[in-house]
Amino acid sequence: MNIRERFNATMHYQARDRSSLLEFGYWEETLELWHNQGLPAYVTKSNSHEFFGMDFDRFKHVTGIPFKVGLVPGFKEKVLEDRGDKEVVQEADGTRVLRHKSMSSIPLPLAHLLVDRESWWKYYKPRLDPTNPARYPANWDECVKVWTDPSRDFPAFLWAGSLCGCLRNWMGLESLCLALYDDPAWIEEMVTTLADCTIGTLTRVLETGGQFDACGMWEDICYKSGPLISPQQFKKLFIPHYRRIADLLHRHGVDIIWVDCDGDIDLLVPLWLEVGVNCVIPFEVGTWGADPIQYRKKYGQDLRMMGGFNKRILAHSKHEIQKEIYRLAPLVEEGGYIGFCDHYVPPDVPLQNYVFYLEVVRKVCYKNVNLKPIGPLYLPRSVEGMQQSSPGAWPASLSRPGKGRYGQ
C-alpha cells in the first residue's frame, strides 16, 4: 500500500498492510541535545520525519495545501523592545507578547489589539474576507492538478482554522470570558465571520474536485481541569458553526475531521462528534491521565485518535516504555488510531530511549512491514529483551494483556 491508501484504511478501520507511522514533533531544544548524543547535525525539525523513518510529515501535508483561512493579510511581525534574553514582539495576529530569544516556550501575552467592537471592525473583520485573492496560491492551476490527481500516493489534508482558540489569542482569555457574558452577540458575530471566511475559502478549493483525505482544525481551549469556557456556551455559540463547516466537507467527500486541542477535552468530545468532528490530535495524556483505550471504550469507533503515548514515559526506563507500547498495541491493530507521542518530544528524553521506543513500536505495532529505515545513528541501537523474539512477540518480562478488544 502507498501512504495515502494506508492512512485512509487506518482511519476507516479497513484492512491494511499496517497502520500509518507518524510523530507529532520535537522541541527545538530536544534536537539540540540529541545532536550531542549522536544525532547527525543535519537533522532538523524540517527533515526529522525522514530521518526517523516516518511515513510523512503531518505539518508538511497540512500546510502543503497553500491557502489561508485566517487573517489575510496578517499583521507585520516586528520586535518592539529588546529585553536581553527576551524581546517584546508584535505577532502576526496583532498580539504583543514577551518571548525568549533562544527557548521554545509559550510566549507571555502583554497586550491585545482586539479589545472592543471598534477594534474588531477596524483591524480584524476586514482581514477575514474569503474573496481576497491573497488567500489562494499564485500557482492555482498547478495545485489543482495535484489535488485532483486520482493516482496521488500521498494524503492531502485541508485546514479549517479555528473558531474559539483564535479569539482567545486575539483578545486574551479574560476578555473573551467576560465578553461571553457581557456581549454574547458580539462573540456570535465574530464566530460567524470566522466560519463564513473558512467556508468561503474551503468552498473554492473543494469545488475544484480535489480529492482530500482529511481536514484539520485547531482550538487549544482546554487545560488540565477541562474547557476554559463552559460546554453550554461552547455548544450554543460555536458548535453550530462547526456543523456548517463539517457539512460542507461531508458534501465533498471529506469525512475525517480532526481538532487539535490540548488539555482535558472530555466534556467537548461529545459536542464535536455530534456535528461530525470525529478525530482528535494529539490525544494528550497530561496530568489528568487521559487514556486512549478508555476513550475507545467510551466513544467506540466513532472517535478516531492520533497520539496518546505519554511522552513522559520516554524519559523513564526501557521496561516502562516497552510496557506502554504493548498496552496500546491492540488499539493500533483495531484501527482508527495512529499512536505517537501526545505532544512534542521533550528535551528530558534521551535519544537512546527514543530510538528504543521507535524500534519496539516498529516491531510490535507495525511488524516491521514496509517501513522506511531509521537513519544511521551514532549510538548503539538494540531492542533489549526482544532480539530473539519473532515480530510482535511478547517479551517474557512483561505480562501480556488479555485478548479482549481493548487489551484489558
Q: Does 155 fall in a domain?
A: yes
Q: Does 372 fall in a domain?
A: no
Same domain as 269, residue 176:
yes
Same domain as 49, residue 106:
no
Q: Does 71 fall in a domain?
A: yes
Question: What's the total number of domains in the chain?
Answer: 2
Same domain as 132, residue 122:
yes
Same domain as 294, residue 269:
yes
Same domain as 149, residue 81:
no
Q: Does 383 fall in a domain?
A: no
Rounded to whole angstroms, the Cα distance separating 187 from 237 reads 8
Q: Does 357 fall in a domain?
A: yes
Q: Does 121 fall in a domain?
A: yes
Q: Specify the pLDDT at position 197.
A: 98
Same domain as 185, residue 83:
no
Same domain as 138, residue 107:
no
Same domain as 328, residue 244:
yes
Same domain as 126, residue 176:
yes
Q: What are the pLDDT digits (tens) for 355-390? A: 999 999 999 999 999 999 998 644 444 433 333 333
Averaged in consecutive runs of 10 residues, what is the pLDDT profile of the chain (408 residues)? 95 97 94 94 91 84 72 95 93 94 82 97 98 94 91 92 96 96 97 98 96 95 95 97 98 97 96 98 95 98 98 97 98 97 96 96 95 69 36 35 30
DSSP 3-state helix, strand, coil percentages of the chain (rounded to 5)?
40, 10, 45
Q: Which residues have CB under 8 Å from 391's CB, separation 6+?
A: 363, 367, 368
| Cell (9 digits) for 323 | 510496557
The one-letter code for the residue type at 226 is G
Give SS3 for 371.
coil
Q: Specify the pLDDT at position 383.
A: 38
Q: Specify the pLDDT at position 330.
A: 97
Q: Does 307 fall in a domain?
A: yes
What is the Cβ-side half-sphere exposure of residue 368, based on CA atoms within 13 angstroms?
10
Q: Does 382 fall in a domain?
A: no
Same domain as 121, residue 180:
yes
Same domain as 82, residue 209:
no
pTM: 0.90
Burial class (CB in 10 A: 0-12, 13-18, 19+), 76: exposed
Q: Specify the pLDDT at position 402.
A: 33
The residue among 95, 112, 129 that closes a domain is 112
The residue among 364, 381, 402 that closes a domain is 364
- Residues spanned by the domain of 99: 76-112
Question: CATH no. for residue 312?
Answer: 3.20.20.210
Same domain as 82, residue 224:
no
